Amino acid sequence: MKTRVLLAISLSFVVLSGGERLASAQPPASEPGPSNEDQAARLLFQSAREAFAAGEYERALSGFQQAYDLSRRPALLYNIGTTLDRLRRDDEALAIFEQFLREDPQTPNRAEIESRVAQLRAGIQTRQAREEAARLEAERVDAERQAAEEERRLAEEHRRLAEEAASGGTPPVLVISVGGVAVATGAMALGFGLRTRALNDSYENYVRDTLEENGGVLGTPPEVQEARSRYNRAKSRQTLTNTMLGISGAALIGAVTLVFFTDWDGDSADAAPADTARITPSLGVSAQGVEMGMTYDF
């Protein structure tokens, strides 16, 4: 019995030339004989181990995974997690290492694996925080760019209006256009405002629920990060909404101002020359229904 135990221990771990220790897929000596699945898993394991030693991690990962699917030996999960770690696929490596600790809680190198799990988890949280900050910064830059473009467009529009006013009257179509811009921008601001309200409610509900669940404290770092992320999204949307409201207000003021400088009847001293065509719409009601028409004056 002592000889069998020593033999099983000697087969439980293999040290590769690269310094990475991988669990062995060999069956214990006490088993009567390997099944077809065990034989196939052993061949796959040997091939994957050689690929790992040669630095061919993708091929090694495929072999270890197939060997585990055939044998379901928890030790192979350590091999899979280690290979994923070498490939810098941190999210997958973390999940596999955690699965290994659940399936083999008495593994001798548990402290080593738990330390690596903590490092992977911290790295993933840091990466997610950077990605969220980059996304929020991109949204802020895009909002500022849109606001700057709209401000330049309005400035150009005001300059053209000033030139037309100096040369004799403002065309009615210009007033309608500026008014349309004000209405469209106001509608956009309303949409952004509703979205801001929804994001703010989401943030407040999350914080309230988290505080209730954790006895008055916000909780673990992931919960704090989630609360900060929701707050930043609501804050960014609020900034964009205020920008749209400012643009809408400016356009509306411009449209109202133009109303007082527009020659709606065409009989002022600055009216168009006599040889310019003028279109007058007409609306009437008859026994046949409502009639609309246009009168062209040359």
- DSSP per residue over 18-30, as a string? TS-EEE--PPPTT
Does residue 290 form part of some domain? no
Do 94 and 197 fall within a single domain?
A: no
Does residue 271 form part of some domain? no
User: What's the whole-model pTM score?
Assistant: 0.42
Do 82 and 131 fall within a single domain?
A: no
Phi and psi of 21, rounded to 5°?
-90, 125
Does residue 276 form part of some domain? no
Residues of the chain above pLDDT 70, percent: 68
**For range 193-200, the mean pLDDT:** 78
Read off the tokens for 26.
């060999």
Do 75 and 135 fall within a single domain?
A: no
Between CA 153 and CA 58 the distance in angstroms is 54
Nearest alpha-carbon partner for 249 in 174, 152, 179:
179
Between CA 298 and CA 291 the distance in angstroms is 23
Do 57 and 162 fall within a single domain?
A: no
Do 202 and 91 fall within a single domain?
A: no
Confidence of residue 43 (pLDDT cuts 50, 70, 90): very high
Give how far Cα 232 sits from Cα of 23, 136, 148, 160, 189, Å: 45, 7, 22, 39, 19
Do 157 and 57 fall within a single domain?
A: no
User: Does position 174 have pLDDT exceeding 90, yes or no?
Assistant: no
Do 255 and 145 fall within a single domain?
A: yes
Q: Identify whether the C-beta of residue 278 lies closer than 8 Å to the C-beta of residue 173.
A: no
Strand 278-286 and strand 289-297: the pairing is antiparallel
Does residue 244 form part of some domain? yes
Structurally, the chain folds into a number of domains equal to 2
Task: Render pLDDT for 218-254 as a digit per residue (tens, 0 to 9).
Answer: 666 776 777 778 788 878 878 878 887 778 777 778 7
For residue 33, give its domain range.
2-108
Does residue 217 form part of some domain? yes
Q: Identify whether the C-beta of residue 170 lies closer than 8 Å to the C-beta of residue 254.
A: no
Do 93 and 142 fall within a single domain?
A: no
Nearest alpha-carbon partner for 98 in 122, 70, 74:
74
Residue 29 has a pLDDT of 40
For position 35, which CATH number holds?
1.25.40.10
Does residue 91 form part of some domain? yes
Phi and psi of 288, rounded to 5°?
-80, -15
